[in-house]
Amino acid sequence: MEPITMLAALAPLGVELGKSLISRFLGQSDFKPANIDDYLKMRGIDLDMFKAMNDAGGANPSYPWVEAIVRLQRPFVATIALTVWAYTHLSGGFGDATNADVNQFASAVGFYLFGDRTLFYIRQRQSTKP
């Protein structure tokens, strides 16, 4: 794997580390809810934010079936990309230049599948720290 690809994969973790260091040393103290109602309000705001992010999948309003097809294509495209990557490594490859391109595309798909969830769990764990 190329160093630039590795740096691109680790860039979001570096950004999160930088933000956490800035908030730790320069930021204000965290808000701690006094009762369960405040806590539920905070979680309700988080849920509303995640719903808004989920609904913001497309830039233009479209028919619901178009949005469903677009969302169903994501796993299909990821499966095809990882299948081509596995085939190139098991069969000996298509050539050095093509193998590098396939590796980079597979690393992007891998980050889409696993890196996004990892960042989500890291952020969630940081927000629940005492």
Q: What is the pLDDT of residue 60?
A: 58
Q: What pLDDT is attached to residue 31?
A: 66
Return all residues near 85 (Cβ < 8 A) that are at least 6 apart: 102, 103, 105, 106
pLDDT band of 129, cuts 50, 70, 90 = low
pTM: 0.42
Q: Give the pLDDT of residue 115.
A: 72
Is a pLDDT exceeding 80 seen at residue 36?
Answer: yes
Identify the domain containing residue 37 by its residue range: 3-127
Reported as a single tens digit per residue, the pLDDT across 37-80 is 888 888 888 888 887 776 665 555 667 777 777 777 878 888 88
Q: Look at the chain and report how many structural domains it folds into.
A: 1
Half-sphere exposure of 23 (CA within 13 A, CB side): 11
- d(CA 108, CA 101) in angstroms, rounded, equals 11
